Amino acid sequence: MKFARVASFLFAAASVLASTVASGNNSDIMDVLKSFQLTTNRILPQITLVAQNTNKTQVAFDVKPLLNDLTTTAANAAVGSLKDIKSSNGVNRPVDPAVANLVSFILRDITTTLNNAGISSIVHPDEIVALDDPLSIILDVLEAIMMGTLVIVGGSVVGVSALLLLVGLGLVLGALGL
């Protein structure tokens, strides 16, 4: 009970701080994250559809290319683009709640879809780790570009923190400090 109040307070404080601090043009970051979200929004419904099959062997076979697509096409592409932004703009930017909220939404969407589809019990753990790694790198690079972003993202996804662990996204959980 106390933890929930403290977490709620910290999230509210971080949101207020972020809204007063954010002032830079982060359209480059938002473009990368929106592209990541578009690709994710294309892949996640396919994962949900494939997971409805009662033959779990077939599901495992059919979901592997989708997880690979989510990892390589979406997450790794976002990592590369964000690293390029970081290297070309070495100055720390102010926290932008729009960036943090978009990242939170993407993480919640991925987590709930994988959990609802039961993916962690169907595929080999290495396939989840292959997705977990670039997702955590996205968070780390965003934090390097905009210090304080992870506080907002962590506060936003605290409701699905158990699901992050359940589906095997431990590196994301660790990056968020949850």
**Residues 116-132, mean pLDDT to the nearest whole number:** 85
pLDDT of residue 91: 66
* Sequence spans of domains, the chain: 2-175
pLDDT of residue 20: 37
User: pLDDT, tens digit, for every residue of 11-42?
Assistant: 444 444 444 344 468 899 999 999 999 999 99
pLDDT of residue 90: 62
Average pLDDT over the chain, rounded to an integer: 83
Residue 9 has pLDDT above 80, yes or no: no
- Would you place residue 161 in the very low, low, confident or very high pLDDT band (cuts 50, 70, 90)? confident
Residue-by-residue DSSP string for 87-129: HH--SPPPP-HHHHHHHHHHHHHHHHHHHHHTGGGTS-HHHHH
% residues pLDDT > 70 (the chain):
85
Q: Is the Cβ–Cβ distance between 58 and 9 less than 8 Å? A: no
- Would you place residue 73 in the very low, low, confident or very high pLDDT band (cuts 50, 70, 90)? confident
% residues pLDDT > 90 (the chain):
39
Give CA separation, 27 vs 90, 116, 117, in Å: 16, 32, 33
